[in-house]
Amino acid sequence: MHNKTIAELATVLQQGEVSSVELTQHFIDRIEKLDAGLNAFITVTPEAALQAAKAADARIKAGEAAPLTGVPIAHKDIFCTSGVRTSCGSRMLDNFVAPYDATVVERFRAAGAVMVGKTNMDEFAMGSSNETSFYGPVKNPWDTERVPGGSSGGSAAAVAARLAPGATGTDTGGSIRQPAALCGITGLKPTYGRVSRWGMIAFASSLDQGGPMARTAEDCAIMLGAMAGFDERDSTSIERPVDDYVGALNTDIAGLKIGLPKEYFGEGLDPDVARAIEAAIDEYKKLGAEVVEISLPNTHLAVPAYYVVAPAECSSNLSRFDGVRYGYRCEDPKDLVDLYTRSRGEGFGAEVKRRIMIGTYALSAGYYDAYYLKAQKIRRLISDDFRKAFEQVDVIMGPSSPSTAFKVGEKADDPVTMYLSDIYTIAANLAGLPGMSVPAGEVGGLPVGLQIIGNYFDEARLLNVAHRFQQVTDWHSHAPRGFE
How many distinct helices (H) and strands (E) make up the chain? 15, 11
**Active site (annotated) includes residue 319:** no
| Residue 132, helix vs strand vs coil | coil
Find out whether the peptide bond into 151 is cis, omega within 30 degrees of 0: yes
The Cα-based distances of 114 to 73, 227, 298, 338, 376 in angstroms read 6, 14, 43, 43, 40
DSSP 8-state secondary structure symbol assigned to residue 78 = T
Per residue, the 3-state secondary structure of 399-465, as one string, reads ECCCCCCCECCCCCCCHHHHHHHHCCCHHHHHHCCCEEEEEEEEECCEEEEEEEECCCCCHHHHHHH
**Active site (annotated) includes residue 129:** no
Residue count (the chain): 484
Q: Which residues, in sequence order, are CB contacts of 193 under 8 Å at separation 6+?
A: 209, 236, 237, 238, 432
Cα 59 from Cα 75, distance rounded (Å)? 22
Q: What does the buried/exposed string (b/e) look like for 257-276 if buried means 16 or more CB atoms within 10 Å of the residue's CB?
A: ebbbbebbeeeebeebbbeb
Q: Which helix (H) or strand (E) holds 397?
A: strand 395-399
- Active-site residue among 175, 315, 343, 403? 175
Q: What does the buried/exposed string (b/e) look like for 66-87 if buried means 16 or more CB atoms within 10 Å of the residue's CB?
A: bbbbbbbbbbbbbbbbeebbbb
Q: Which of 233, 291, 263 is nearest to 426 (CA)?
A: 263
Decide if 122 contacts 78 (C-beta within 8 A). Answer: no
**Active site (annotated) includes residue 374:** no
Cα 66 from Cα 10, distance rounded (Å)? 9
Q: Indicate which residues carry an active-site annotation.
A: 76, 151, 175
